[in-house]
Homo-oligomer: A and B are copies of this chain.
Amino acid sequence: MIRLQYQVELAYEIRSPAGADFIFNVHAAQTEQQSVVEEQLVLSQPAMPDLATDSATATRFMRLHANLGQLNLTYRATVDIAHHRSDPTILHEVPVRCMPLEVLPYVYPSRYCQSDRLLRMAFANFGHLYPGYSRVLAIQHWVQKHVTFTSNASNANTSAIDTLVEQVGVCRDFTHLMIAVCRALNIPARMVTGTDYGADPALGPPDFHAYVEVYLDDRWYLFDASGTGVPMGFLRLGTGRDAADVAFATIFGDVVTAAPSINVHALEGPELETPHHLHRRALDCRGHARAAGRLRFL
């Protein structure tokens, strides 16, 4: 078990006279492995946030309408995390005939994970491997070898196909490519957004992060597609098919966005050891926010 203190500060300048609508996903999820001990939300405007939790994924959404002017949002939470661990050697892939119905959509292609175009590629590279955890690990290693972590070489439109071709990207892009390859092999896979506590402090402060969950045996297992984080320190925010589902902020209106400020530190629990391979990487997983459209009416 690890207890993390997580805080995010967001700042927006709303320029539409009629204000703007926001859908945030910055709340820590509450799951069997992650419990929110205490949390606090501070808004600079007297907005009435509308909170909801998606029952299937535990993603917590906050919708609010902000008026013309400045909106500052600070959310902080104390979160206990006890990741489930299994003996990897006994984790099997689940044949389609045995998959729970609610898992099936994660085998289908989605906006950024066009697995339907990768059937042949996935089968050629991974079809001969023994199904199960080790095959998923082989996919993860292949993605890490295939793609070079590079800031500003991809954008909000970049999909798994682009990353396969151009071989550069950030954690979001690694995640999309790994998901697409898994689905092409009929292995359910989805995207998780969170924060990445535990990376070497020399790499810079903790940041938003995106990683993969794969369904094996009877539950979802976490894989860090980009290999830039320490899974034991991941704090879960959103869970969905791909980045289209789990932007940390979706903005409807004319809004100027400042860079988010994120802070995560451990209050209790084991010292996380940064894997050696992380020591010299420059990380930049910011930029998951998605601005969706202009405000439409008064």
The segment from A104-112, A196-204, A208-216, A279-287 that touches chain B is: A104-112
Q: A116 on the interface (CB 8 Å rule)? A: yes
Q: How far is the CB of A85 from chain B (nearest CB, A)?
A: 25
Provide the main secondary structure of the chain A interface.
mixed
B residues within 8 A CB of A118? 165
Residue from B21, B61, B96, B124 within 8 A of A63 (CB atoms)? B96
Residue from B120, B165, B293, B296 within 8 A of A131 (CB atoms)? B296
B residues within 8 A CB of A165? 117-118, 121, 161, 164-165
Q: Is the CB of B105 within 8 A of A157?
A: no
Q: Is the CB of B244 within 8 A of A296?
A: no
Given contacts A63-B96, A116-B157, A157-B117, contact A101 B167 (CB under 8 A): no
Q: Is the CB of B119 within 8 A of A293?
A: yes
List CB contacts (< 8 Å) of A37-67 with chain B: 50, 52, 54, 61, 63-65
Q: A273 on the interface (CB 8 Å rule)? A: no
Q: A168 on the interface (CB 8 Å rule)? A: yes
Q: Is the CB of B23 within 8 A of A104?
A: yes
Q: A290 on the interface (CB 8 Å rule)? A: yes
B residues within 8 A CB of A156? 116
Most chain B CB within a 10 A radius of its CB, from A101, A146, A298: A101
